[in-house]
Amino acid sequence: MYRIGFDVGGTFTDFTALETGSGEAIHFKTSSTPHDPSEAIETGLRHYVEELGIAPEAFEFVGHGTTVATNMVIERRGVPTGLITTRGARDVLEIGRQTRPHLYDYAVTKPDPLVERYMALEVTERLDADGRVLRPLDEAEVRAAAETLRDAGAQAVAVCFLHAYRDGRHERRAAEIVREVLPDAYVSISSEVLPEFREFERFSTTVINAYVGPRMDRYLERFLQRLSDLDIASAPRTIHSNGGLMSVDTVRSFPVRTCLSGPAAGVVGAAKVAGVSGHPNIVTFDVGGTSTDVSLVEQGRPAFTTSRLVADYPVRCPMLDINVIGAGGGSIAALDDAGALKVGPRSAGAHPGPVAYGQGGTEPTTTDANLVLGRLASDTLLSGRMQVDKDAARDVIAARIAEPLGLTVEEAALGILRIAVANMGRAIRAVSTEKGHRLQDFALFAYGGAGPLHAPAVAVETGIRTVLVPAQPGTMCARGILLSDVGFDFVRTGVSTARPDRWAGIGAAFAEMRRDGTAWLENEGVPEDRRAMQYVIDARYDGQNHEVQVPLDAPDAGFDAFMDGFRAAHRQEYGYDIADRAVEIVNLRLSVSGASGAEPETGYSPQDGDPVLGARQVYFDGGWYETVIYDRARLPVGPFVEGPAIIQEMSSTTIVEPGQRLRVDGSGTMIIEV
């Protein structure tokens, strides 16, 4: 039997199939198909079924990572969406937080709301901050608003009422009316999508959920149909932003929770694989074709956050704390108006791709620069299945970068990589040193198609001393899906001062949330012996506006244990605590999970034969170096490979720079000493 996971990226779609008996992993990559991501999924699955001869019924688990929802928001390809809200709250999305993206740059503006103002309609209703009804819902006004949105062509409707996080009765009734008037519309209500206070973030998250819902649903239909056409009967699960897996039905209800689907899988897998190699503290470094995703893992636990921006729109839901920047293999290098060299965030993506791909690209990218410097060869991508044109890459860098700046082609190409590395280094500092962590205490875990290619230089840039490169790093996100657990998060807002006499109420609220979590796990088919629950309280000092997260060992953990945990979390986040200041409890969070039982491979057996494939000239700082080329599959455990060296495999290429050295540990992970 086989477990298969696949991650749909901007440039490539990656697959990993794990044979459950032997533990053998079979990896595959194919170009993504942005017009219909499910097409690339079918291509990869057909490779396993038709070319490798794996019977469709042998797939006992199908795991799926996707950035479809994120890309719809970035490219504004959602459906016409309406908003029904409390009278007086029509412009919450427009007003936002009254902050500018860049205070002194008036050319940078906030994005337009995803709901046009004429489709944001008000109705009479009002709850107070405790959930008591101040004004009953005017159902006639809701029906009239729904009819207006129907006539305006709305395909999705978000219902967001003030203080609905305390009681969703008005929203639920409004949704019933909307569905009567627009039976084919996708309806999201904030009390289900995000039952938390802070109207702007709650409205924004619910609107995004509605905006992407219909097209995400159609994508899932095509995806399920392609599985059916291949006679794969296993019900697929999709990884969501907190690193857990959920069913297709849950994804249909909460597509906004997939905004970090693929990157989250990579972090989960990286944490488990690095742990096997004895490195519980890592910075994950995932470089793909369009972006670089970095995250911090401390003592084997990924860092979490509750909010982020997606295309500058706030999204609030539990998710791994991943910093995403526009720097990848397809990042475009160009001169700005002042003649300075910039790299990213624009990307050539899968189509047309880098100039060397010969698919119509006309602007130089970091992949073109790596080819010019000899770090990639014309016949190494996807084990030679993807041929590239090094001369075309050299010509475009010469014309667009080198000649205008008065540089040699090699100097221009190296400059492109240095700027990309500097951008990557800033992203790493944002999740580490800027949050009170010493990078010298962490290893850099490099994966993605281009991660190992840039990791040694990034380690030098940031002061990290060790780089880890897992087996088949280009498919790490797909492997991470196979190592992920089923999971979901529940939240309840209840702002109150933390006092011993109120602690019993906290325990009662957690008990009610636990019943909801148990029901969800039962619906997902998770057996009792694989269930786990984590309890977290969002809290802050009186007078603060933002919270820190305080994990609890159990829902009945004592008041003193909570206060000690809060002060420790506050010191970690801000560097201080205030012993005599009152503390406010803001949100209660419950994370439920069902263990998959999957573990990363721990044994490594190199293939027979000489690992040395040859040598070629590679350009590093200072000039050209004779560089030995190795086949990763044949590298033995233990002995060091001295830099400069290049290690090739199907999914990626690893660089060892002059003065560095590499060894392979017993699990097959390559360890580079910087």
At 560, which CATH number? 3.30.1490
- In a domain, residue 83? The reply is yes
Distance CA 181, CA 391 (A): 61
pLDDT-derived band at 350 (thresholds 50, 70, 90) equals low
- In a domain, residue 225? The reply is yes
For the stretch 166-194, pLDDT in tens is 999 999 999 999 999 999 999 999 999 99
- In a domain, residue 474? The reply is no
Q: Do 32 and 57 belong together in one domain? A: yes
For the stretch 466-480, pLDDT in tens is 999 998 898 898 889
For the stretch 20-77, pLDDT in tens is 877 788 889 888 888 889 999 999 999 999 999 999 999 999 999 988 888 788 778 8
Q: Do 163 and 177 belong together in one domain? A: yes
| Domain-ending residue, one of 419, 444, 476 | 419
- Residue 312's nearest CA partner among 324, 294, 297 is 324
**In the structure encoding, which two tokens stand for residue 355, read together?**
């100039």
Q: What is the CATH number of the domain that holds 181?
A: 3.40.1360
Please determine, for residue 380, whether its predicted confidence score (pLDDT) is greater than 60.
Answer: no
Q: Do 563 and 500 belong together in one domain? A: yes
pLDDT-derived band at 356 (thresholds 50, 70, 90) equals confident
Give the range with max mean pLDDT: 140-144, 248-252, 450-454, 574-578. Answer: 140-144
- In a domain, residue 340? The reply is yes
**Strands of 393-519, DSSP E:** 443-447, 466-469, 486-497
> How many residues in total does the chain contain?
674
- In a domain, residue 469? The reply is no
- Residues 262 and 10 sit within 8 Å (Cβ to Cβ): no
Q: Do 63 and 84 belong together in one domain? A: no
**DSSP assignment string, 337-384:** TTS-EEEEEEE-TTTT--GGGTSS--S-BHHHHHHHTTSS-TT-GGGG
Q: Do 575 and 635 belong together in one domain? A: no
Q: Do 56 and 91 belong together in one domain? A: no
Cα distances from 258 to residues 68, 70, 76, in angstroms, run: 8, 8, 16
In the chain, the number of structural domains is 5
Q: Do 82 and 199 belong together in one domain? A: yes
Q: Do 117 and 40 belong together in one domain? A: no
Q: What is the CATH number of the domain that holds 229?
A: 3.30.420.40
| SS3 label, residue 195 | coil
- Residue 223's nearest CA partner among 239, 208, 238 is 238
- Residues 294 and 286 sit within 8 Å (Cβ to Cβ): yes
| SS3 label, residue 670 | strand
**What average pLDDT does the segment 78-100 reach?**
92
Average pLDDT over all residues of the chain: 90
- In a domain, residue 607? The reply is no
Q: Do 651 and 554 belong together in one domain? A: no
Distance CA 10, CA 215 (A): 18
For 33, what's the count of Cα atoms within 13 Å in the CB-facing half-sphere? 13
- Residue 633's nearest CA partner among 667, 652, 606 is 606
- Residues 495 and 547 sit within 8 Å (Cβ to Cβ): no
Q: Do 86 and 202 belong together in one domain? A: yes
| Domain-ending residue, one of 402, 419, 436 | 419
Distance CA 371, CA 469 (A): 21
Phi then psi for residue 294, to 5 deg, are -125, 150
Q: Do 165 and 230 belong together in one domain? A: no
| Domain-ending residue, one of 559, 594, 629 | 594
Q: Do 527 and 624 belong together in one domain? A: no
- In a domain, residue 665? The reply is yes
**Strands of 174-254, DSSP E:** 186-189, 237-239, 245-247
For the stretch 581-623, pLDDT in tens is 999 999 999 999 998 777 777 778 899 999 999 999 999 987 9
* Domain extent for 86: 78-208
- In a domain, residue 544? The reply is yes
The region of weakest confidence among 94-103, 199-208, 255-264, 530-539 is 94-103
Q: What's the pLDDT score for residue 164?
A: 95
